Structure 1
Amino acid sequence: MKLILLRIIPLSIFLISAYRWGDWKRWQRYYPTMLFFGFGDLIYIAVFHDKVLWEFPTNFLVPSLDELLLIFGIFFPTTLLFLSHYPKRVYFQIIYIVMWVAIYMFIEAVDLITGIIVYSNGWSIWWSLLHNTVQFPLIALHYRKPLLTWIIALIFLAIIMNIFNVPFMVVKHPNSMQNINLLIDRS
């Protein structure tokens, strides 16, 4: 029950905050960036399926529904709130991004302490800090320059895949061809 409440509380805060302070008159302008944020999570699930870096062991939703809950209940409202109040001056943009990184890191620290999130394969809270520090500027950039943002995000993905030894290509075992040849020769 405790885990359910700890998942529902931030979700409720983000949804209520987005409802209250989000720029709903211009939500359609933010929609492509909302999708970008959501697709980022889906890309993580697809690419790191066999070697997860973090996961949310849940006791009330299956993992795929839990991910959709995160996308629709946290990531989409985050994007709406983040872009609705994004400052124009660079100095304030930096402060604003640091504030959002701090919010996400606070939530992740609570999740880590309570066991809502579990790291594996070398991931740590420091990697999450780097991820969030890259993520929020990318959200801001995507709003203005989506193609450039996708290129940067895919480069970042390739770097993370390389660091955590996630293969880019299927590597066939040399003996697998011998096994196939043996099967052909016997028939």
Structure 2
Amino acid sequence: MQTLFQIILLLKCSIHLFFTLTDSIEYQYGWTLGWSIVALFIMFPLLRLHFKHPLLTYLLFALVCIGFLWWFNVPVHLPVEKGEYYGVIGGSINV
């Protein structure tokens, strides 16, 4: 089971790297490829923990999400429609 998680983690990291190198992902609020990999290293152990202790995992995941929102200063007080990047795809507005 541990080897399967390692293979999936490596595959996910490779996919993120591919999309970053081909400019298919636009990172915002200071998020980078490195942070995506950190998030994967947090997500997969939490996924494994969820099988044995789901309630603990919900609490830990909520703390991780709040931590990321705080660290990257994501404006959660604004409706999505009023956000800086809402509807922007390829430099044009699509609302």
Same structural fold, with TM-score higher than 0.5 when normalized by the shorter chain: yes
Aligned pairs for 1:104-183 within 5 A? 104-167=12-75
Which sections of structure 1, spanning at least 5 residues, go unmatched?
A: 1-85, 87-92, 171-187
Q: In structure 2, what is the equivalent of residue 32 of structure 1?
A: none
Task: Compare the two structures and name the one with the higher helix fraction.
Answer: 1
Mapping for residues 17-28 of structure 1, pairs under 5 Å: none
Q: Which amino acid aligns with 2:34?
A: W
Structure label with greater radius of gyration: 1
TM-score (norm 1): 0.38
Q: Take 1:165 and 1:100, find their aligned partners in 2: how far apart are those partners?
A: 30
Identity %: 28
Amino acid of the structure 1 residue aligned with 2:54: P
* Paired AA for residue 133 in structure 1: F
Deviation at 1:169, TM superposition (A): 5.6
Query: Where in structure 1 do 4 or more consecutive aligned residues deviate above 4 Å?
Result: 167-170
Aligned length: 78
Cα displacement (A) at 1:109: 0.8
Query: For the residues of structure 1 that align with 2:70 and 2:33, how far apart are their CA atoms?
Result: 19
- Give the gaps of 5 or more residues in structure 2: 79-95
Equivalent AA in structure 2 for residue 160 of structure 1:
F
- Hey, what's the Cα distance between the residues in 2 that align with 1:144 and 1:122? 34
Aligned partner of 1:97: which letter?
F
Q: TM-score with structure 2 length normalisation? A: 0.71
Report the AA paired with residue 106 of structure 1.
S
Give the corresponding residue for 2:93.
Answer: none
Check the 8 A contact 2:29/2:74 in 1, yes or no: no
SS across alignment from 1:152: helix
Question: What SS does the aligned partner of 1:118 have?
Answer: coil
Structure 2 Cα separation of the partners of residues 124 and 169 of structure 1: 23
